[in-house]
């Protein structure tokens, strides 16, 4: 039994998404053959070539695409790290045709200085490939984007109709190229089962388009779909048409479900033995085989063999150093511990296995894996993904790294715990921790307590100071629009963020609007947070975010929430660039009418 494990277009361009590597390691440990493919990075490298762009040049973007075709290959070599000398041509402005995104480029001297040629070039090259991607979307494929593919068709999609309509259209030039890449893998590897990991909505169209092609051209091959998007959106799936594009849907960790599917196909067990798996009977009914008593299995050891590591691109869509870490550099993505050790936050999907089941390994095993992955990839940088790093385990991992004398760099998600004292942060830095990201969320002690975040503003500020003093950069996630949040509380939150940037204890931040999800405490018990759900029954296709209203009636907010979101993002973008720190926070909201304070 042979598996082909596929990451469909598109995820990050700078590094492999880790799901297929983990599944490959586990399946091989159970005696199965497994190969893996990242169709997204291969697709981008095939599209961004002179021949493909010339063939795609048409419409009002024709001249720009032809100009881009003349220089795209040296730019791609530069972004892949193959030719550093191109940086000088890019940085001095003599090479790239400048599209609309260059209109926002002014004097970059303040960001990169006289010596920052490579960084400046990477930033400009990123703008260039984004402009080319915009042209492709306009003229070739309305769904194309550099880090997603038809994302809007799967985001907040209660019905399958719109996505299916797109899948029933004739494949466009981008689809054809993607399917040609898949065809090459099928002919070379001859797999029995093809598995698509769908971590984000921007990967679903690609997975189903590939599944559609496999059903037509390779009908004997079984098709599986799983991953983060599936785990959150399809737990109440009722539309059986999805199974026109796949045979099995797996939930939560995929190791054991795929093993059981293989055993069933080999005749070694029955369909009743499948674990966390959905499939369709001949009469069209969906079978939910959700046996879960064996949910806790040893996670697979990641195996990156077979991925085209030389094709990944180091891009930089912002000048902010901390923000760039998500897209710049080929980090080894790896999970330190399964689940979250806190798993109480009201906004978080704590009822789902990947968050609610906390299963930390031994520190020695974590570092053993790091050493093995370094030897395999040639990269010593690690991004610990998913949930918050447990302070106790993190401390032990750092002690083990120092004991072994390893030279590594790493970063990951944390909670702003009181455990992050100066005494703890110094050895973290010595062991290789270069950055952390954590949620300050609403930056209001009242709301932090309401949502059971387990931290306070003062505690967060202290932890950030200790990280800064140890030379560790900090990114913080923030939200607005939580039930009962007032406009003044939002302004106070921005003021807290302004102070933190001004003090230099955070380097980047990102605001998102609160979304009530059906898997979170706030979605399951909204009345505890001053809200009520408005949905009458589950959707037939995707179910995650739900509508809500205040518990006492009326509109969600007595102010323009969209205008507030815009102001928060603009202010924080400026703060990240060291601008506007002396402006009053109200100045970022010109479209908001503020109430005059009552006289006392």
pLDDT of residue 154: 84
Confidence band, pLDDT 50/70/90 cuts, at residue 153: confident
Alpha-helical (H) ranges within 218-320 are: 228-233, 255-265
pLDDT of residue 286: 94
pLDDT of residue 29: 93
Of residues 556 and 400, more confidence is placed in: 400
Confidence band, pLDDT 50/70/90 cuts, at residue 294: low
Confidence band, pLDDT 50/70/90 cuts, at residue 85: very high
pLDDT of residue 114: 52
pLDDT of residue 594: 77
Cβ neighbours for 589, distance < 8 A, ≥ 6 positions apart: 563, 564, 567
Q: What is the pTM of this model?
A: 0.94
pLDDT of residue 403: 98
Query: How long is the chain?
Result: 600
* Cβ neighbour number for residue 356 with a 10 Å cutoff: 16
pLDDT of residue 320: 73
Per-residue pLDDT of 44-64, as tens digits, reads 999 999 999 999 999 999 999
Asked if 209 and 169 touch (Cβ cutoff 8 Å), the reply is no
Cβ neighbours for 23, distance < 8 A, ≥ 6 positions apart: 3, 5, 34, 36, 195, 197, 254, 255, 258, 300
Distance between CA 301 and CA 179 in Å, rounded? 29
Of residues 300 and 210, more confidence is placed in: 210
Query: How large a percentage of the chain has pLDDT more than 70?
Result: 96
Alpha-helical (H) ranges within 203-342 are: 204-217, 228-233, 255-265, 321-324
Mean pLDDT confidence for 580-585: 95
Mean pLDDT confidence for 319-342: 86
Distance between CA 201 and CA 267 in Å, rounded? 34
Structural domains of the chain, ranges and CATH numbers in brackets? 2-41+149-289 (3.40.50.280), 59-139 (no CATH), 320-588 (3.80.30.20)
Average pLDDT, the chain: 92
Question: First vs last Cα of the chain: how many Å apart?
Answer: 78
What does each C-alpha distance from 535 to 81, 231, 480, 531, 545 come to in angstroms? 50, 20, 22, 13, 10
Confidence band, pLDDT 50/70/90 cuts, at residue 600: low
Distance between CA 141 and CA 17 in Å, rounded? 24
Cβ neighbours for 111, distance < 8 A, ≥ 6 positions apart: 120, 123, 319, 577
pLDDT greater than 70 at residue 529: yes
Residue whose C-alpha is closest to residue 327's, from 336, 338, 318: 318
Confidence band, pLDDT 50/70/90 cuts, at residue 318: confident
Per-residue pLDDT of 4-41, as tens digits, reads 999 999 888 999 999 999 999 999 999 999 999 999 99
- What DSSP letter does each residue of 415-446 carry, written as one string? ---TT--HHHHHHHHHHTEEEEEEEEET--HH
pLDDT of residue 151: 79
Asked if 82 and 67 touch (Cβ cutoff 8 Å), the reply is no
Residue whose C-alpha is closest to residue 110's, from 551, 574, 597: 574
Does residue 28 sit in helix, strand or coil? helix
Distance between CA 111 and CA 88 in Å, rounded? 17
Sheet strand arrangement including 433-441: 332-334, 381-384, 409-414, 433-441, 473-480, 508-513
Cβ neighbours for 315, distance < 8 A, ≥ 6 positions apart: 13, 14, 79, 122, 125, 126, 129, 327, 328
Distance between CA 369 and CA 572 in Å, rounded? 37
DSSP state of 517: B
Distance between CA 399 and CA 392 in Å, rounded? 11
Asked if 181 and 147 touch (Cβ cutoff 8 Å), the reply is no
Phi, psi of 333 (to 5 degrees): -85, 135
| 187-216 residues labelled b (16+ CB within 10 A) or e (exposed) | eebebbbbbbbbbbbbbbbbbbbbbbbbbe
pLDDT of residue 296: 47
Mean pLDDT confidence for 259-266: 95
Per-residue pLDDT of 390-423, as tens digits, reads 999 999 999 999 999 999 999 999 999 999 999 9
Asked if 125 and 95 touch (Cβ cutoff 8 Å), the reply is no
Residue whose C-alpha is closest to residue 181's, from 210, 158, 140: 210
């Amino acid at each position: 039994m042979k598996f082909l494990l596929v990451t469909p277009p598109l995820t990050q361009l700078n590094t492999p998404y880790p799901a297929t590597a983990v599944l490959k390691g586990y399946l091989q440990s159970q005696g199965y053959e497994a190969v893996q493919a990242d169709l997204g990075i291969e697709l981008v490298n095939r599209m961004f070539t002179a021949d493909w762009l010339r063939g795609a040049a048409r419409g009002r973007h024709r001249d720009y695409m032809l100009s881009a075709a003349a220089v795209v290959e040296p730019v791609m070599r530069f972004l892949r790290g193959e030719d550093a000398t191109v940086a000088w041509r890019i940085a001095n402005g003599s090479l790239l045709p400048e599209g609309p995104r260059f209109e926002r480029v002014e004097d970059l001297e303040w960001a990169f200085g006289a010596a920052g040629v490579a960084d400046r070039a990477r930033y400009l090259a990123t703008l260039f490939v984004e402009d080319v991607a915009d042209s492709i979307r306009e003229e070739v494929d309305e769904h194309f984007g550099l880090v997603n593919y038809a994302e809007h068709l799967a985001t907040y999609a209660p019905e399958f109709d719109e996505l299916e309509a797109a899948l029933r259209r004739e494949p466009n030039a981008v689809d054809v190229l993607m399917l040609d890449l898949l065809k090459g893998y099928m002919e070379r590897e001859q797999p029995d089962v093809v598995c698509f990991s769908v971590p984000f909505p921007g990967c679903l169209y690609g997975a189903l388009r590939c599944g559609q092609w496999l059903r037509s051209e390779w009908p004997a091959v079984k098709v599986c779909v799983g991953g983060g998007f599936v785990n959150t959106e399809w737990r109440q799936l009722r539309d059986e048409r999805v199974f026109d594009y796949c045979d099995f849907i797996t939930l939560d960790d995929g190791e054991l479900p795929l093993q059981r599917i293989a055993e069933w196909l080999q005749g070694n067990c029955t369909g009743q033995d499948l674990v966390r798996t959905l499939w369709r009977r001949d009469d069209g009914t969906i079978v939910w085989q959700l046996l879960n008593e064996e949910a806790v299995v040893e996670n697979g050891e990641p195996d990156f063999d077979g991925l085209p590591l030389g094709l990944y691109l180091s891009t930089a869509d912002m000048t902010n150093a901390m923000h760039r870490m998500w897209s710049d550099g080929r980090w080894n993505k790896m999970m330190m511990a399964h689940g979250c050790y806190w798993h109480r936050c009201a906004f978080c999907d704590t009822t789902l296995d990947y968050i609610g089941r906390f299963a930390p390994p031994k520190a020695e095993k974590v570092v053993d894996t790091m050493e093995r992955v370094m030897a395999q990839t040639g990269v010593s940088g690690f991004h610990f993904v998913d949930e918050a790093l447990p302070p106790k385990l993190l401390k032990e991992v750092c002690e083990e790294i120092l004991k072994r004398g390893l030279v590594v760099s790493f970063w990951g998600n944390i909670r702003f715990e009181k455990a992050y004292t100066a005494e703890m942060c110094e050895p973290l830095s010595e062991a290789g921790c270069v950055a952390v990201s954590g949620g300050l969320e609403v930056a209001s002690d009242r709301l932090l307590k309401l949502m059971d975040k387990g931290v306070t503003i003062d505690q967060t500020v202290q932890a950030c100071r200790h990280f800064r003093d140890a030379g560790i950069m900090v990114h913080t996630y923030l939200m607005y629009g939580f039930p009962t949040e007032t406009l003044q509380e939002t302004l106070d939150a921005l003021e807290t963020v302004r102070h933190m940037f001004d003090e230099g204890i955070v380097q980047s931040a990102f605001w998102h609007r609160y979304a009530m999800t059906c898997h979170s405490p706030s979605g399951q018990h909204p009345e505890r947070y001053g809200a009520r759900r408005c949905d009458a029954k589950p959707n037939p296709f995707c179910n995650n975010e739900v509508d809500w209203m205040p518990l006492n009636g009326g509109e969600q907010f007595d102010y323009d929430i969209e205008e507030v979101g815009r102001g928060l993002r603009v202010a924080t973008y400026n703060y990240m660039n060291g601008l506007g720190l002396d402006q009053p926070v109200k100045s970022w909201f010109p479209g908001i009418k503020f109430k005059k304070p009552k006289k006392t």
